């Protein structure tokens, strides 16, 4: 079912009021996460410990995401965001107390990251589903590009700011900063109305939460193109994401660097993401959004491979690779999210977004469990090289899979006239220009 609701002509002030508050909160969260990961790196120097910390973020998404999405579709999304942001801020306050009393232990970091991740799996689908109700369809790709730009800006600002603050402030003050920035996200939500759809059910027939989850799974399962992309994403998460989770050890062990060098690498990804997001916002991508994503995936793989091949004395080469990978990440993710927001009916979006995130991340915990001990034994560089090559080959191969390139023309049994499958990637670029 296609979306047919009308958006108010003056949609920008309410949407960007909420959106801006969320960006302030994300800055605080980015700095907090950098500080916690660096604290673990200094304390343990263990790839296994860093892998476990990342798993605390991933496990709730994999196992609780579909249930969270079903609840988001039932509940008032504005209230969901208020409660989720408040929970995340309370965890930061607890971590500040532990640092202040000098009682912080590794398991405290695990617990804090786990609870903050649970808040995130409710907040993210609520914000994504609200966006499609507040923003006209024709602007969704540009808003997605803006989101990618701001995500990149966070990568630019967060690591250097975290490294700077670690040099001048105790850890507890950095935790308290996140509490303060969370207030910027929560306060606008009390004053801005966010559309809330009525469930299409009678008073005598109210579906259960589990039936909502099954409905979301059936929706995704019945969309061959989306299912194929999720299989790709699962493989990519397995081979690529551990390398990024363990990057602090690449800096300390291979490049013999410290917090500033880690900040350079992460910021170069962010700068690339900013520029890629700005490009997407201004350009809008190819008419068939999927071609933009596949092109980005191929080039992103080359950038990741370059990071793994950079010799120890050429940190600048790894920085360049991260810049390329970051700029292409915006072109990979932005069009896909815009396509989902434009196609999926609003009352299903919370469930569909979380099912997509859960299925694509399903192999990530296993990859982290494998990557930690393997990296401790043989180093991290093979993960970057193999992951980058897989990215490029998957992006190229997907160009010749009809259900993927026609994902927007064939969804949930509603088949439109399929776009012809180009014989080469070059023809994709020429045809879309």
Residues 6+ apart with CB under 8 A from 73: 129, 199, 212, 347, 348, 349, 350, 351
Q: What is the pTM (predicted TM-score) of this model?
A: 0.64
Cα–Cα distance for residue pair 315/258, rounded to 1 Å: 12
For residue 68, the model assigns a pLDDT of 81
Domain ranges of the chain: 12-194+208-432
Backbone angles phi, psi at 252, to 5 degrees: -75, -35
For residue 426, the model assigns a pLDDT of 30
DSSP string covering 183-221, please? HHHHHHHTTS----PPPS--TT----HHHHHHHHHHHHH
In the block, tokens 């390398």 appear at: 243
Contact 212, 351 (CB under 8 A): yes
What's 254's DSSP letter? I
3-state helix vs strand vs coil in the chain, percent to 5 = 80, 0, 20
DSSP string covering 323-375, please? HHHHHHHHHHHHHHHHHHHHHS-GGGHHHHHHHHHHHHTTTHHHHHHHHHHHH
For residue 233, the model assigns a pLDDT of 86
The per-residue pLDDT string of the chain (433 residues; one tens digit each, 9 = 90 and over) reads 444 445 556 778 888 888 888 888 888 888 888 889 889 988 888 877 887 887 887 788 777 877 787 788 788 888 999 999 999 999 999 999 999 999 999 999 999 999 999 998 888 888 877 887 888 777 777 787 777 677 767 777 777 788 788 888 888 999 999 998 898 889 988 888 887 665 544 444 555 556 777 787 888 888 888 888 888 988 888 888 888 878 888 888 889 888 788 888 888 888 888 888 888 878 877 878 888 999 999 999 999 999 999 999 999 999 999 999 989 988 898 888 777 777 887 777 777 777 777 777 777 777 877 877 877 777 788 889 989 999 999 999 999 999 898 887 766 544 333 333 333 333 332 333 3
- Per DSSP, the chain holds a count of helices (H) and strands (E) of 18, 2
Half-sphere exposure at residue 178, Cβ-oriented, CA atoms within 13 angstroms: 28
For residue 95, the model assigns a pLDDT of 95
Residues 6+ apart with CB under 8 A from 252: 41, 45, 258
Fold of 12-194+208-432: Growth Hormone; Chain: A; (1.20.1250)
Residue-wise pLDDT tens digits, 206-233:
555 567 777 878 888 888 888 888 889 8
Which residue from 49, 269, 257 is spatially nearest to 154, judged by alpha carbons?
A: 269
For residue 13, the model assigns a pLDDT of 84
For residue 267, the model assigns a pLDDT of 81
Tokens representing residue 46 in the block: 């263990």
Cα–Cα distance for residue pair 382/387, rounded to 1 Å: 8
Residues 6+ apart with CB under 8 A from 418: 402, 406, 409, 410
For residue 204, the model assigns a pLDDT of 45
Residue-wise pLDDT tens digits, 377-412:
777 888 899 899 999 999 999 999 998 988 877 665
Question: What b/e readout covers 57-96, taking b as 16+ CB neighbours within 10 angstroms?
Answer: bbbbbbebbbbbbbbbbbeebbebbbbbbebbbebbeebb
Tokens representing residue 285 in the block: 């991508």
For residue 209, the model assigns a pLDDT of 59
Cα–Cα distance for residue pair 135/292, rounded to 1 Å: 21
Cα–Cα distance for residue pair 161/24, rounded to 1 Å: 14
Tokens representing residue 374 in the block: 């393997």
Tokens representing residue 185 in the block: 């996200």
Which residue from 363, 422, 6, 65 is spatially nearest to 220, judged by alpha carbons?
A: 65
């Amino acid at each position: 079912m296609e979306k047919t609701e009308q958006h108010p002509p003056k949609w920008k002030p309410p949407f960007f009021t909420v959106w801006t508050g969320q960006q302030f909160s994300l800055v605080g969260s980015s700095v907090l996460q950098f500080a916690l990961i660096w604290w673990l790196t200094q304390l343990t120097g263990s790839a296994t410990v860093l892998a476990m910390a990342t798993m605390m973020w991933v496990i709730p998404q994999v196992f609780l995401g579909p249930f969270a999405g079903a609840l988001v579709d039932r509940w008032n999304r504005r209230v969901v965001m208020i409660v989720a942001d408040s929970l995340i801020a309370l965890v930061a306050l607890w971590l500040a107390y532990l640092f202040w009393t000098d009682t912080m232990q590794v398991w405290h970091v695990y617990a804090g990251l786990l609870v903050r991740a649970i808040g995130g799996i409710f907040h993210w689908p609520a914000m994504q589903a609200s966006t499609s109700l507040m923003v006209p369809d024709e602007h969704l790709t540009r808003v997605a590009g803006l989101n990618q730009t701001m995500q990149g800006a966070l990568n630019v600002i967060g690591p250097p700011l975290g490294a700077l603050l670690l040099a001048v402030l105790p850890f507890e003050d950095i935790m308290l900063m996140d509490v303060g920035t969370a207030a910027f996200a929560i306060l606008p939500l009390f004053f801005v109305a966010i559309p809330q759809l009525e469930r299409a059910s009678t008073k005598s027939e109210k579906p259960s939460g589990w039936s909502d989850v099954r409905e979301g799974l059936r929706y995704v399962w019945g969309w061959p193109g989306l299912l194929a992309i999720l299989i790709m994403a699962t493989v990519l998460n397995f081979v690529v994401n551990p390398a990024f989770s363990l990057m602090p050890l690449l800096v300390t062990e291979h490049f013999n660097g410290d917090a500033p060098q880690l900040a350079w690498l992460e910021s170069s990804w962010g700068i690339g993401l900013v520029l890629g997001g700005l490009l997407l916002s201004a350009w809008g991508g190819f008419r068939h959004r999927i071609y933009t994503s596949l092109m980005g995936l191929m080039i992103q793989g080359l950038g990741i491979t370059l990071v793994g091949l950079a010799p120890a004395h050429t940190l600048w080469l790894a920085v360049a690779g991260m810049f390329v990978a970051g700029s292409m990440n915006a072109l990979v993710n932005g069009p896909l999210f815009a396509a989902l927001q434009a196609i999926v009916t609003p009352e299903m979006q919370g469930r569909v977004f979380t099912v997509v995130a859960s299925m694509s991340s399903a192999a990530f915990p296993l990859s982290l469990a494998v990557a930690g001990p393997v990296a401790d034994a043989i180093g991290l560089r093979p993960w970057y090289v193999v992951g980058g090559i897989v990215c490029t080959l998957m992006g190229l191969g997907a160009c010749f899979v009809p259900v993927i390139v026609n994902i927007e023309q064939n969804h949930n049994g509603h088949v439109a006239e399929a776009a012809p499958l180009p014989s080469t990637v070059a023809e994709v670029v020429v045809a879309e220009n």
